[in-house]
């Protein structure tokens, strides 16, 4: 078996792209998108029609409403390809607005349901700020499943688990980027700080009985993926899916319930003050969360500007 086939024995494989045409050959279970991926996709000729349709069909509505419909349009097309779930992201400018995030999430689910898509097939992506996690806690009680993204630290992961969110997306590659930039070192295999972060979160969840799913994200190379074989899910870009499908190097399982239960990690009692202090003490987590929100905000603004020129 190639590495992709081996990985699918232990882990649910998720495609990380707005370019849904590129994922058919890899038969992933789920797919994820984000503002940057959608912005990149709509600049390709293959997806111009989706953007044009969203603008044409909702021209009398606000630019915000057109973007909501565009995101759901992409999600609908992706769900024709994957048998499982699609993740659709809320506006990053709501990252510190609990009520705004709740309202936006409800609207996205309303649009999906109006299009005949059951809410069980949608994960609403929300930044892992304290306000975002509190929004997800409310939404989960309404049956709106959430994917907490821009997650870089154990404090964020614990808060998500205690809020009973469906799934988290710790960002392996962006953690790696930070440490590489700070130290000038290359990290490979089990020494990769991004890999170590996900292993620590996975061990904590499994050891203490949390049901929240762990989906490693933001990979820079296949080594990071092979080190996390056995994680609940991994969301992988089409180019790395291609590389996995071309390799037949053995991929043994690295994460499991048995390994997690043997981990010496200790339970942490987390309230808001502890969360904020732990995150503040984590320079990497603090910087990458802020940077990620800024980038996603900038891409939403750029998408708005594109739409406004078309109206």
Sign of CA dihedral 180, 295, 289, 172: negative
CA distances from 266 to 12, 103, 200, 280 (A): 28, 36, 11, 20
State the 10-residue block means of pLDDT for the chain, 311 residues long: 98 95 94 94 94 96 97 96 98 98 98 98 98 98 98 98 98 98 96 98 98 98 98 98 98 97 96 98 98 97 96 86
pLDDT for the residue numbered 96: 98
Two tokens, residue 7: 């990985």
> Which residue from 249, 257, 203, 260 is spatially nearest to 225, judged by alpha carbons?
249
Element (H, E) at 290: helix 283-310
Tokens for 158, please give them: 């614990």
Res 311: pLDDT: 86
Distance of alpha carbon 75 from alpha carbon 190, whole angstroms: 34
Q: Report domain extents, the chain.
A: 3-310
Residues labelled as active-site residues: 125
For tokens 């009680």, the residue is 141
pLDDT of residue 308: 95
Q: Is it true that domain 3-310 has CATH number 3.40.50.410?
A: no
Alpha-carbon distance 189 to 191, whole Å? Answer: 5
Task: Kindly report the pTM of this predicted structure.
Answer: 0.96
Closest to 124 (Cα-Cα) out of 107, 116, 114, 134? 107
Q: Report the SS3 class of residue 168.
A: strand
Find the helix or strand (DSSP H, E) in which 135 lies: helix 130-141
Residue with tokens 């009398």: 60
């Amino acid at each position: 078996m190639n590495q992709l086939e081996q990985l699918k024995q232990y882990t649910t494989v998720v495609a990380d792209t707005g370019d849904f045409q590129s994922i058919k050959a890899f038969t992933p279970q789920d797919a994820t998108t984000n503002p940057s991926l959608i912005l990149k996709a709509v600049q390709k000729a293959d997806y111009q029609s989706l953007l044009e349709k969203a603008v044409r069909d909702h021209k009398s509505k606000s630019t915000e409403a057109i973007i909501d419909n565009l995101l759901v349009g992409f999600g609908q097309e992706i769900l024709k390809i994957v048998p499982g779930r699609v993740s659709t992201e809320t506006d990053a400018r709501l990252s510190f607005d609990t009520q705004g995030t709740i309202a936006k999430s409800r609207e996205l689910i309303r649009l999906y349901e109006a299009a005949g898509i059951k809410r069980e097939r949608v994960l609403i992506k929300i930044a892992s700020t304290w306000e975002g996690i509190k929004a997800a806690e409310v939404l989960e009680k309404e049956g709106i499943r959430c994917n907490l993204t821009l997650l870089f630290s154990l404090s964020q992961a614990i808060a998500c688990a205690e809020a009973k969110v469906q799934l988290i997306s710790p960002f392996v590659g962006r953690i790696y980027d930070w440490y590489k930039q700070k130290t000038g070192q290359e990290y490979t295999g089990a020494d990769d700080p991004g890999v170590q972060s996900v292993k620590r979160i996975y061990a904590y969840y499994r050891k203490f009985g949390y049901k929240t799913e762990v989906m490693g994200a933001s990979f820079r190379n296949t080594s990071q993926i092979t080190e996390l074989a056995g994680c609940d899910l991994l969301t992988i870009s089409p180019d790395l899916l291609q590389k996995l499908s071309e390799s037949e190097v053995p991929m043994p399982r690295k994460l499991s319930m048995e390994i997690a239960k043997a981990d010496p990690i200790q339970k942490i009692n987390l309230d808001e003050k502890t969360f904020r202090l732990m995150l503040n003490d984590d320079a990497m987590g603090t910087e990458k969360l802020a940077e990620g929100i800024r980038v996603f905000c900038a891409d939403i603004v750029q998408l708005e500007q594109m739409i406004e020129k078309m109206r």
